[in-house]
Amino acid sequence: MNLKVGLLGGGSWGTTVASLIARNAPTKMWARNQNTVDDINNNHRNEKYLPGAKLTSSLRATTSIEEAIHDADVLVMGVPSQSFRRVLEDAKPFIRPWIPIVSLSKGLEQGTKMRMTQIIETVMPGHPAGVLTGPNLAREIMAGQAAAGVIAMVDDTIAKELKKVFSTGLFRVYTNEDVVGCELGGALKNVIAIAAGMGDGAGAGDNTRAAIITRGLAELTRLGVAMGGNPLTFSGLAGMGDLVATCSSTQSRNRTVGFQLGKGRSLDEIIDEMSMVAEGVKTCGVVRELAHEYNVEMPITEEMYKVINEGNTVKDAFRGLLGKETGAESEPG
């Protein structure tokens, strides 16, 4: 493949995607930490975020944003949502005109409530903006286990070309024109995953987790559709697929936060011990604001907001949810 790819972000998922892309195209990635860059270049590893995983040997890393992207035909943004705008603005002087910019982030920006493609369109107008999302746990993919993702762009022609950049034998990539739905599915499921993890940490059973997942899917679908997403998107990889993986896997950062909350630990203590970002913690407040703005009832999100931001306990959250009147399954509650 003649395309050159630049990727910004040296965490577990950014490194995993960079390693996948490097099998198909010349790839340079930017990471802040010199030790991480040296580990990738000299040992073909990123032990800090992907211990034991072997990276594609042709992948190169640098601490210079300019070096990573100045000749790139495609830019991939693998940084957390709350630093997305700042990193993109730092990169702006070195981005070639009109090249596609693809987000890997599953969050919403605090304050503006913007999706990452909206930030791309604001900072880099005229560049095709898209998102790669789905039920993708980095360590499983690096271990060679099969997985599937979806690349969403308004221009399906560009999406089909970019699919070739990300696809490998065991990582199957589908296309979707519903950028809004795909991005919202990836961001909103993190909040539900905290709730599912809380139930597991508190000793609730499989029935409880299944109820949280399915009622959580109903919540994120209601808001996603209200904001312009396609209802079918939320039954696909970016919706149900990502939700199930994130709510069920011990590798999920958001579920881990919830699990530890369910054990009675404080949020500050949990976050201090984590080396990677759990997007749902920051996204929860944004989702709640959007729910109020669009007049969508989201009881699970509301209870998670109270736990994360108002000091409510796990018992308070479950008491609040169980106190909701039930009606038709198609209704909130």
Which one is catalytic: 28, 163, 189, 282? 189
Tokens 């789905």 appear where? 134
- What token pair was written down for 324? 């909701």
Q: Could you tell me which residues come within 8 angstroms of residue 245 by beta carbon, excluding any fewer than 6 positions away?
A: 135, 136, 137, 252
Amino acid, res. 91: A
Helix boundaries (H) for the chain = 12-21, 34-38, 65-69, 81-91, 116-123, 138-142, 156-166, 179-201, 206-226, 242-248, 253-262, 267-273, 279-293, 299-310, 314-322
CA distances from 67 to 7, 61, 63, 127, 132 (A): 11, 9, 8, 20, 23
* Residue 164 is among the residues annotated as catalytic for this protein: no
Short-list 165, 182, 190, CA closest to 131: 182
Q: Can you name the residues that pair with 74 across neighbouring β-strands?
A: 5
Coil, helix or strand at residue 176: strand
Q: Which residues are catalytic?
A: 189
